[in-house]
Amino acid sequence: MTKKESGKTLVVVESPTKAKTLSKILGSKYTVKASIGHIKDLPKSRIAIDVENNFQPEYILVKGKAKIKNELVKLARGSQKILLASDPDREGEAIAWHLCNILDVDPQTLCRIRFYEVTPKAVKEALKKLEPVDMNRVNAQQARRVLDRLVGYTLSPLLWKKIRYGLSAGRVQSVALNLICEREREIISFVPSEYWHISVLASSLDKTRNYDLKVMSFKNKSFWKEGKPLLISSSEQAEKIASDIAKQELVVKEYKVKEGKRAPLPPFKTSTLQQEAARRLGFSPRRTMRIAQSLFEGVSVPGRGPVGLITYMRTDSLRIAPDAINGARTFISERYEAKYLPAKPNFFASKARSQDAHEAIRPTDVTLTPEILKNVLNSEQHRLYTLIWNRFVASQMASALVANAILDVAAGSYGLRQTGESLIFDGWGAVWPLELKGGQLDPAQPEETLLCQEIEKEQRFTKPAARYSEATLIKTLEEKGVGRPSTYATIVETLYDRGYVEKNEEKRIEPTQLGMTVDDFLLQYFDSKSQSPIVDTGFTAQMEEQLDLIEEDQLQWVEVVRSFWNGFTNTLEEAKKASAVELPEPEPIGEDCPECGKPLVKKRGRFGEFIACSGYPECRYTKPILKTIGVKCPLCGETEGGEVVRRRSKKGKFFYGCSRYPECKYVSWNEPTGEKCKECGASLIRKNKKSLPECPECGWKKEKKGKKENK
């Protein structure tokens, strides 16, 4: 260590990217180094929890971290001061605590620096507010870590013995699996009920106004309740209603319009960011968090240098700092008309027990618009930043104004209705998509007679609850109080990795046979009636509340763990007496492996079914199951007979290719329809199930029947 370096302050962070950004912000008087995540943790090879000695964990140096540790120790010895700048959450606090142990720093000294955005202003403010390590937060992390280790390292071996080697169970993981499996059981047992939807297509006498009326009631008794069909349950009944209406005059009873406000949506927290990124961008929770982490840690912006672009992305708070609100209001007033700025700032209430030390997820500088950063960020960073920026700006804009119209029409004793919603003032909808219910509804006069143009009868069947998507699963976990912002992404990915669930063609989560088997077994012993109901959402939510209370210094972490362990061990002993579960044998396909000659079988993995050798693991031969879509290959279909098949990428995304691959290289992310473009002759594609065919070459689109086809 040179004299020049000896007077420096050592700042330790988790990631090299964050270290790079922070180093440029702090300048030459600081040395910034990254620990690359946790420096110490529990060993992977054994449980490492001393149950007899107050559940004391045995922390060791993380494998491969010896070089980093030695470098940090050397730098610490020659530094005037040591500051620990790991992330401002439980995991970050635990990292700081372990670094204290490694670097011989008293955790009670002012060694901790916390900032919620990596910007010069935030960092300089944080330097004025140095704090000790928060041991309550450390203890909450320890309690979670110990609980998860005890469950995982005792229950997983039980699954190995009773079902199959390599399986796992977890305190939160098993609850999430149970939610998915319970939904699947509901779907399997669901018995659809027939009902009929009857609509009357009507118009004004001069045919300048058109209406699509739904049959709602008979003699003031509703056919519907809370949007669900009640009474029209047969074709005979539907036919009679249609016949009765056809004989009646359609008379307008009431047309009313009520102006309503649509308040802006709040800025993002972790769960809602993951949900919207999945819905609008197709990002998995893990992908979303990885990209958000890179935006938080910072990029180099021309003219500004290194700067973190968003606030800390693991948060369940909706609080916004006053400076950020003022910045947003100034920006809105300069870019938009005065009516888009509300008279007072918009504030949003967070749920009870949210970590209010964190803000909501927002841009650190609202003047750094997505347009400015388009050439600074990569594609996925730019898309996610745009989502965050738009949502934040929208949250501080004026309410949208909508006109809610209701038209009630009488056909004898039958009541018909149409509703519509139209936009009066877009407000925050200028920045964030505002979804209207129905469209513009033409006005009508009371006692006005309408012409009946057509009566449509449509047979429908009630449907079970939909399978979870990644977004709706996270939403449900949050609503039920299971898990925390930092764990949602990991929970979902673990279920995929264990082969317990897979993503189907509709991008919904579907349990595999293995997942159902594991859940069935756990339910036998760990359901809501047991001493340790670890697959019960209420029990797991209660555990999360206890972790929060530890952080608030209202509970002792050892006592929380002990209380859980006593009930869990009793239940575990009962489960050990269970008989082994026989898993169904993989289905043979009637072919032999081309590499070893053993029978090929059909298996299920993370991304659905595939063909594999029955000799696994000695033979690792696999091949995909190709599903044709009934369309000839646009390149070789006419000459070589190639067919379009649907495949999955290594990341699980569907795409379309030729059955003759690799001889034919045809590939498309969008589904080919087998039709030709009327303008240029290229093959038409469909971008999603609801979209109409269009040409990827010239842009020609096929419109609905009765509408002109446009280019």
Per-residue three-class SS string for 499-523: CCEEECCCCCEEECHHHHHHHHHHH
**DSSP letter (8 states) at residue 616:** T
Query: Are the C-beta atoms of 288 and 276 separated by less than 8 Å?
Result: no
**DSSP letter (8 states) at residue 193:** -
Query: Are the C-beta atoms of 278 and 268 separated by less than 8 Å?
Result: no
Among the listed residues 59, 195, 211, 312, the single catalytic one is 312
Provide the CB-side half-sphere exposure for 211 (13 A, CA): 29
| Those residues with Cβ within 8 angstroms of residue 481's Cβ, 6 or more apart along the chain or in another chain | 537, 540, 541, 544, 545
Other beta carbons less than 10 A from residue 595's beta carbon: 11
Determine the Cα–Cα distance for residues 605 and 498; give it in Å rounded to an integer: 9
Query: Are the C-beta atoms of 411 and 250 separated by less than 8 Å?
Result: yes
User: Which amino acid would we find at residue 193?
Assistant: S
Give the residue carrying structure tokens 């209370």.
Answer: 549
Query: Are the C-beta atoms of 245 and 411 separated by less than 8 Å?
Result: yes
Copy the structure tokens of residue 120: 């010069």
- Please name which of 535, 510, 518 lies closest in space to residue 166, comparing C-alpha atoms: 518
Give the residue carrying structure tokens 């047969």.
Answer: 234
Element holding 201 (H helix, E strand): strand 194-203
Radius of gyration for the alpha carbons in the chain, expressed in angstroms and rounded: 31
Element holding 627 (H helix, E strand): strand 627-632
Catalytic (active site) residue 312: yes
Copy the structure tokens of residue 362: 């927002």
Query: Are the C-beta atoms of 477 and 483 separated by less than 8 Å?
Result: yes
Determine the Cα–Cα distance for residues 215 and 176; give it in Å rounded to an integer: 41
- The answer, yes or no, to whether the previous bond of 662 is cis (omega within 30 of 0) is yes
- Please name which of 490, 381, 390 lies closest in space to residue 17, comparing C-alpha atoms: 381
Length of the chain: 711
Determine the Cα–Cα distance for residues 5 and 31; give it in Å rounded to an integer: 9
Query: Are the C-beta atoms of 110 and 96 separated by less than 8 Å?
Result: no
| Those residues with Cβ within 8 angstroms of residue 170's Cβ, 6 or more apart along the chain or in another chain | 148, 151, 152, 494
Determine the Cα–Cα distance for residues 381 and 373; give it in Å rounded to an integer: 10
Determine the Cα–Cα distance for residues 514 and 524; give it in Å rounded to an integer: 16
Distances (CA, A) of 591 to 120, 596, 599, 613, 618: 65, 12, 6, 10, 18
Distances (CA, A) of 659 to 54, 591, 624, 625: 61, 19, 11, 11
Q: How far is CA 371 from the centre of its chain?
A: 26
Give the residue carrying structure tokens 């079988």.
Answer: 601
Torsion angle of alpha carbons 16, 20, 25, 27, nearest 10°?
Answer: 110
Distances (CA, A) of 602 to 172, 194, 585, 590, 650: 31, 36, 10, 10, 19
- Please name which of 543, 427, 440 lies closest in space to residue 482, comparing C-alpha atoms: 543
Tell me the β-bridge partners of 600: 613
Query: Are the C-beta atoms of 679 and 659 separated by less than 8 Å?
Result: no
Query: Are the C-beta atoms of 308 and 21 separated by less than 8 Å?
Result: yes
Catalytic site residues? 312
